[in-house]
Amino acid sequence: MKTSSKGLAGLIDLPVITDPRGDLTFVEGCNHVPFDIARVYFLYNVPVDAERGGHAHRELRQVIFALSGSFRVSVDNGQTREEYWLRDPRKGILVERMIWREMDAFSQGAVCMVLASHPYDEGDYIRDHSTFLKEVSGS
């Protein structure tokens, strides 16, 4: 697994197989990302002024990629906030549990792919930032 950490989010660099027909990138759970992949979802047709995210997860771990175009991911652990720009389909950011995330500044036609460690569970979300601050300071 090729993972490095600049700060709050891990940086994931996927392999690429390049030949004259184009580039091929692949991802294996528990190998290129540090969990078994239970769910994959996509964001697309995102208006350029839309804001996504605005929540944290108690258990869920995710890796976020910009398969096409670009967007900004802001992460916050309750004390520090950092911003990352995703624009290379091979490079993802690992957002661990109990990290507040916001995504915005989507370019026209951007496609965001998210690999997730668990199936969808609304009960795992913390959608209120003050609740997040309380829970994260107690954990």
Separation of alpha carbons 75 and 104, rounded Å: 12
The residue nearest ligand TYD at its CB is 52
Nearest CB to ligand TYD, comparing residues 16 and 40? 40
- 14 CB contacts (<8 Å, ≥6 apart)? 2, 25, 26, 27, 32, 90, 91, 92
**What is the Cα Rg of the chain in Å?**
15
Nearest CB to ligand TYD, comparing residues 13 and 102? 102
Q: How far is the CB of 25 from ligand TYD (least distance, A)?
A: 22
Our finding on whether 41 is near ligand TYD (CB under 6 A) is yes
Of 48, 53, 42, give the one whose Cα is nearest residue 70.
48
First-residue to last-residue Cα distance in the chain: 28
**Which residues, numbered 74-133, are part of the site for ligand TYD (CB under 6 A)?**
120
Q: How far is the CB of 104 from ligand TYD (least distance, A)?
A: 10
Binding residues for ligand TYD, total number by CB under 6 A: 6
118 in catalytic set: no
The one among 52, 91, 118, 129 contacting ligand TYD by CB under 6 A: 52
Q: How far is the CB of 53 from ligand TYD (least distance, A)?
A: 4
100 Rama sector, left if φ>0, alpha if ψ -120 to 50, beta otherwise: beta
What residues line the site for ligand TYD (CB under 6 A)?
39, 41, 43, 52-53, 120
